Amino acid sequence: MASISSSPRTVEEIFKDFSARRAGIVRALTQDVDEFYGLCDPEKENLCLYGHPNETWEVNLPAEEVPPELPEPALGINFARDGMNRRDWLSLVAVHSDCWLLSVAFYFGAQINRNDRKRLFSLINDLPTVFEVVTERKPAKDKPSTDSGSKSRGSTKRSSDGVVKSTTPKASEEGYEEEEEHGETLCGCCGGNYNANEFWIGCDICERWFHGKCVKITPAKAEGIKHYKCPSCCLKRGRP
Protein backbone atom coordinates (compact mmCIF):
# COMPACT_ATOMS: atom_id res chain seq x y z
CA MET A 1 0.00 0.00 0.00
CA ALA A 2 1.32 3.45 -0.91
CA SER A 3 2.00 5.86 1.91
CA ILE A 4 -0.46 8.73 2.23
CA SER A 5 2.54 11.04 2.65
CA SER A 6 3.38 10.42 -1.02
CA SER A 7 -0.12 11.44 -2.12
CA PRO A 8 -1.14 14.91 -3.39
CA ARG A 9 -0.81 17.23 -0.40
CA THR A 10 -1.61 20.79 -1.49
CA VAL A 11 -4.94 22.16 -2.72
CA GLU A 12 -3.48 22.59 -6.20
CA GLU A 13 -2.10 19.04 -6.29
CA ILE A 14 -5.34 17.51 -5.04
CA PHE A 15 -7.43 19.53 -7.50
CA LYS A 16 -5.12 18.51 -10.35
CA ASP A 17 -5.54 14.86 -9.35
CA PHE A 18 -9.33 15.30 -9.11
CA SER A 19 -9.52 17.00 -12.52
CA ALA A 20 -7.47 14.29 -14.21
CA ARG A 21 -9.50 11.43 -12.70
CA ARG A 22 -12.70 13.26 -13.62
CA ALA A 23 -11.49 13.73 -17.21
CA GLY A 24 -10.82 10.00 -17.51
CA ILE A 25 -14.30 9.09 -16.27
CA VAL A 26 -15.98 11.69 -18.49
CA ARG A 27 -14.12 10.21 -21.44
CA ALA A 28 -15.33 6.69 -20.56
CA LEU A 29 -18.95 7.83 -20.34
CA THR A 30 -18.93 10.02 -23.46
CA GLN A 31 -16.20 9.69 -26.07
CA ASP A 32 -15.37 6.03 -25.27
CA VAL A 33 -18.88 5.08 -24.20
CA ASP A 34 -19.27 2.13 -26.60
CA GLU A 35 -16.04 0.58 -25.37
CA PHE A 36 -17.02 1.21 -21.76
CA TYR A 37 -20.47 -0.29 -22.31
CA GLY A 38 -18.95 -3.42 -23.85
CA LEU A 39 -16.56 -3.95 -20.92
CA CYS A 40 -19.37 -3.87 -18.36
CA ASP A 41 -20.64 -7.39 -19.07
CA PRO A 42 -23.21 -8.41 -16.42
CA GLU A 43 -21.86 -11.96 -16.61
CA LYS A 44 -18.54 -10.84 -15.14
CA GLU A 45 -17.79 -10.33 -11.46
CA ASN A 46 -18.37 -7.05 -9.60
CA LEU A 47 -16.69 -4.37 -11.69
CA CYS A 48 -15.76 -0.77 -10.90
CA LEU A 49 -15.03 2.27 -13.08
CA TYR A 50 -11.74 3.95 -12.14
CA GLY A 51 -10.43 7.32 -13.27
CA HIS A 52 -6.64 7.66 -13.12
CA PRO A 53 -4.39 10.70 -12.50
CA ASN A 54 -3.15 10.54 -16.12
CA GLU A 55 -6.70 11.19 -17.46
CA THR A 56 -7.29 7.56 -18.45
CA TRP A 57 -10.04 5.22 -17.26
CA GLU A 58 -10.30 1.54 -16.45
CA VAL A 59 -13.02 -1.01 -15.74
CA ASN A 60 -11.67 -3.52 -13.27
CA LEU A 61 -12.29 -5.59 -10.16
CA PRO A 62 -12.06 -3.79 -6.82
CA ALA A 63 -8.80 -3.69 -4.88
CA GLU A 64 -8.09 -6.81 -2.82
CA GLU A 65 -6.27 -5.17 0.08
CA VAL A 66 -8.21 -4.10 3.16
CA PRO A 67 -8.38 -1.23 3.71
CA PRO A 68 -7.76 -0.19 0.10
CA GLU A 69 -5.16 2.40 -0.83
CA LEU A 70 -7.94 4.80 -1.87
CA PRO A 71 -11.73 4.84 -1.46
CA GLU A 72 -13.26 2.40 -3.92
CA PRO A 73 -15.75 3.32 -6.69
CA ALA A 74 -19.29 1.89 -6.78
CA LEU A 75 -19.11 -1.90 -6.88
CA GLY A 76 -20.91 -3.98 -9.50
CA ILE A 77 -21.89 -1.29 -11.98
CA ASN A 78 -22.02 -3.98 -14.68
CA PHE A 79 -24.89 -5.92 -13.03
CA ALA A 80 -27.51 -3.27 -13.80
CA ARG A 81 -26.37 -2.62 -17.37
CA ASP A 82 -28.91 -4.77 -19.21
CA GLY A 83 -31.76 -4.16 -16.79
CA MET A 84 -31.97 -0.42 -17.46
CA ASN A 85 -32.27 1.99 -20.33
CA ARG A 86 -28.71 2.67 -21.54
CA ARG A 87 -28.92 6.41 -20.91
CA ASP A 88 -30.34 5.89 -17.42
CA TRP A 89 -27.62 3.38 -16.61
CA LEU A 90 -24.88 5.75 -17.75
CA SER A 91 -26.45 8.51 -15.65
CA LEU A 92 -26.45 6.21 -12.62
CA VAL A 93 -22.78 5.36 -13.14
CA ALA A 94 -22.05 9.08 -13.53
CA VAL A 95 -23.70 9.93 -10.18
CA HIS A 96 -21.74 7.23 -8.36
CA SER A 97 -18.56 8.39 -10.11
CA ASP A 98 -19.13 11.94 -8.84
CA CYS A 99 -19.40 10.56 -5.29
CA TRP A 100 -16.21 8.58 -5.74
CA LEU A 101 -14.25 11.54 -7.12
CA LEU A 102 -15.25 13.65 -4.13
CA SER A 103 -14.37 10.88 -1.68
CA VAL A 104 -10.89 10.51 -3.21
CA ALA A 105 -10.30 14.28 -3.21
CA PHE A 106 -11.26 14.64 0.44
CA TYR A 107 -9.38 11.49 1.38
CA PHE A 108 -6.28 13.39 0.26
CA GLY A 109 -7.73 16.58 1.74
CA ALA A 110 -8.06 15.10 5.23
CA GLN A 111 -4.60 16.44 6.06
CA ILE A 112 -5.07 20.01 4.83
CA ASN A 113 -6.51 22.73 7.03
CA ARG A 114 -10.09 23.94 7.17
CA ASN A 115 -9.61 26.94 4.91
CA ASP A 116 -7.84 24.88 2.26
CA ARG A 117 -10.63 22.30 2.31
CA LYS A 118 -13.11 25.11 1.66
CA ARG A 119 -10.99 26.33 -1.23
CA LEU A 120 -10.66 22.80 -2.61
CA PHE A 121 -14.42 22.33 -2.55
CA SER A 122 -14.92 25.69 -4.25
CA LEU A 123 -12.57 24.73 -7.08
CA ILE A 124 -14.29 21.37 -7.49
CA ASN A 125 -17.74 22.93 -7.34
CA ASP A 126 -16.93 25.29 -10.22
CA LEU A 127 -16.63 22.29 -12.56
CA PRO A 128 -19.72 20.60 -14.00
CA THR A 129 -20.35 17.22 -12.38
CA VAL A 130 -19.85 14.06 -14.41
CA PHE A 131 -23.63 13.60 -14.21
CA GLU A 132 -24.22 17.04 -15.72
CA VAL A 133 -21.81 16.31 -18.55
CA VAL A 134 -23.27 12.88 -19.31
CA THR A 135 -26.88 14.07 -19.21
CA GLU A 136 -25.96 17.31 -21.03
CA ARG A 137 -27.42 19.41 -18.27
CA LYS A 138 -25.84 22.81 -17.77
CA PRO A 139 -24.94 23.74 -14.19
CA ALA A 140 -27.43 26.10 -12.61
CA LYS A 141 -26.22 29.70 -12.55
CA ASP A 142 -25.58 31.35 -9.23
CA LYS A 143 -28.85 32.70 -7.89
CA PRO A 144 -28.84 36.20 -6.38
CA SER A 145 -28.92 35.98 -2.60
CA THR A 146 -28.26 38.13 0.44
CA ASP A 147 -24.56 37.30 0.35
CA SER A 148 -23.76 37.25 -3.36
CA GLY A 149 -22.92 39.87 -5.91
CA SER A 150 -20.22 41.95 -4.23
CA LYS A 151 -17.21 43.04 -6.22
CA SER A 152 -13.48 42.58 -6.00
CA ARG A 153 -10.79 44.31 -8.04
CA GLY A 154 -11.10 43.50 -11.74
CA SER A 155 -13.60 40.67 -11.16
CA THR A 156 -17.29 40.11 -10.91
CA LYS A 157 -18.65 37.82 -8.22
CA ARG A 158 -15.77 35.37 -7.92
CA SER A 159 -12.09 35.64 -7.19
CA SER A 160 -9.45 33.84 -9.24
CA ASP A 161 -9.90 30.65 -7.21
CA GLY A 162 -13.67 30.61 -7.39
CA VAL A 163 -14.72 31.81 -3.94
CA VAL A 164 -17.60 34.30 -3.75
CA LYS A 165 -16.01 37.43 -2.35
CA SER A 166 -19.05 38.63 -0.42
CA THR A 167 -18.84 35.66 1.93
CA THR A 168 -15.21 36.38 2.87
CA PRO A 169 -14.44 40.12 2.73
CA LYS A 170 -11.03 39.54 4.28
CA ALA A 171 -9.96 37.01 1.63
CA SER A 172 -7.39 38.59 -0.66
CA GLU A 173 -5.61 37.76 -3.91
CA GLU A 174 -2.65 36.52 -1.86
CA GLY A 175 -4.62 33.65 -0.32
CA TYR A 176 -6.91 32.65 2.49
CA GLU A 177 -4.72 33.24 5.54
CA GLU A 178 -7.15 35.89 6.76
CA GLU A 179 -10.36 33.95 6.17
CA GLU A 180 -10.79 32.96 9.79
CA GLU A 181 -10.31 36.59 10.78
CA HIS A 182 -12.95 38.08 8.49
CA GLY A 183 -15.24 38.57 11.48
CA GLU A 184 -13.06 41.57 12.37
CA THR A 185 -13.88 43.35 9.09
CA LEU A 186 -15.76 46.57 9.79
CA CYS A 187 -18.17 48.41 7.55
CA GLY A 188 -16.58 51.58 6.16
CA CYS A 189 -19.81 53.48 6.81
CA CYS A 190 -21.37 52.33 10.08
CA GLY A 191 -18.39 50.51 11.61
CA GLY A 192 -20.47 47.37 12.14
CA ASN A 193 -18.83 43.95 12.17
CA TYR A 194 -18.90 41.57 9.24
CA ASN A 195 -21.91 39.25 9.16
CA ALA A 196 -22.08 36.41 6.64
CA ASN A 197 -25.87 36.76 6.47
CA GLU A 198 -25.70 40.32 5.16
CA PHE A 199 -24.76 41.56 1.69
CA TRP A 200 -21.38 43.32 1.53
CA ILE A 201 -19.62 45.13 -1.28
CA GLY A 202 -15.95 46.09 -1.60
CA CYS A 203 -14.66 49.40 -2.98
CA ASP A 204 -12.22 48.93 -5.87
CA ILE A 205 -10.42 52.19 -4.98
CA CYS A 206 -9.84 52.17 -1.20
CA GLU A 207 -10.48 48.42 -0.81
CA ARG A 208 -12.73 48.93 2.19
CA TRP A 209 -15.90 46.85 2.66
CA PHE A 210 -19.42 48.17 3.26
CA HIS A 211 -22.85 46.87 4.17
CA GLY A 212 -24.86 47.05 0.96
CA LYS A 213 -27.67 48.78 2.87
CA CYS A 214 -25.26 51.46 4.14
CA VAL A 215 -24.21 52.48 0.62
CA LYS A 216 -27.64 51.76 -0.90
CA ILE A 217 -26.40 48.94 -3.15
CA THR A 218 -28.50 45.79 -3.52
CA PRO A 219 -27.19 42.43 -4.79
CA ALA A 220 -29.15 42.95 -8.01
CA LYS A 221 -27.68 46.42 -8.51
CA ALA A 222 -24.17 45.13 -7.80
CA GLU A 223 -24.49 42.68 -10.68
CA GLY A 224 -24.30 45.60 -13.11
CA ILE A 225 -21.32 47.30 -11.47
CA LYS A 226 -17.91 46.40 -12.89
CA HIS A 227 -15.84 48.68 -10.65
CA TYR A 228 -17.47 49.90 -7.46
CA LYS A 229 -16.43 53.22 -5.88
CA CYS A 230 -17.67 53.98 -2.38
CA PRO A 231 -19.26 57.37 -1.56
CA SER A 232 -16.02 58.67 0.00
CA CYS A 233 -13.92 57.82 -3.06
CA CYS A 234 -16.56 59.36 -5.35
CA LEU A 235 -16.30 62.63 -3.38
CA LYS A 236 -12.49 62.58 -3.54
CA ARG A 237 -12.55 62.07 -7.30
CA GLY A 238 -14.94 64.98 -7.66
CA ARG A 239 -12.71 67.48 -5.85
CA PRO A 240 -10.41 69.78 -7.88
For every residue of 174-240, DSSP letters joined together read TBSTTGGGGGG-B-TTT-PBP-TTS-EEE-TTT--EEETTTTT--HHHHTT-SS---HHHHHHHH--
114 and 20 housed in the same domain? yes
> Hey, what amino acid is at 142?
D
Domain boundary among 110, 135, 160: 135
131 and 189 housed in the same domain? no
Is 179 contained in some domain? no
Mean pLDDT over each residue of the chain, to the nearest integer: 79
Whole-structure pTM over 0.75, yes or no?
A: no
Is 158 contained in some domain? no
Is 4 contained in some domain? no
Q: Alpha-carbon distance 111 to 15, whole Å?
A: 14
109 and 195 housed in the same domain? no
214 and 131 housed in the same domain? no
Amino acid 95: pLDDT: 95
What count of residues does the chain have? 240
Q: What is the pLDDT of residues 154-213, one digit of tens each?
A: 333 333 333 334 444 544 444 444 444 455 678 888 877 777 778 888 888 888 888 888
Is 159 contained in some domain? no
With residue 27 as reference, give the H or E element that holds it: helix 11-29
Domain boundary among 73, 104, 135: 135
Is 177 contained in some domain? no
62 and 129 housed in the same domain? yes
Evaluate if residue 214 carries a pLDDT over 70: yes
Domain boundary among 135, 150, 165: 135
Q: How confident is residue 115, by pLDDT bands cut at 50, 70 and 90?
A: very high
Is 93 contained in some domain? yes
129 and 232 housed in the same domain? no
Highest mean pLDDT among 5-9, 54-58, 146-150: 54-58
Highest mean pLDDT among 90-99, 109-118, 151-160, 183-192: 90-99
When mean pLDDT is compared across 2-11, 53-62, 82-91, 161-170, the lowest value belongs to 161-170
Domain housing 209: 185-239
**136 vs 23, residue with greater confidence:** 23
Amino acid 237: pLDDT: 56
Q: Alpha-carbon distance 200 to 147, whole Å?
A: 7
Query: Which CATH number covers residue 218?
Result: 3.30.40.10
The total of structural domains in the chain comes to 2
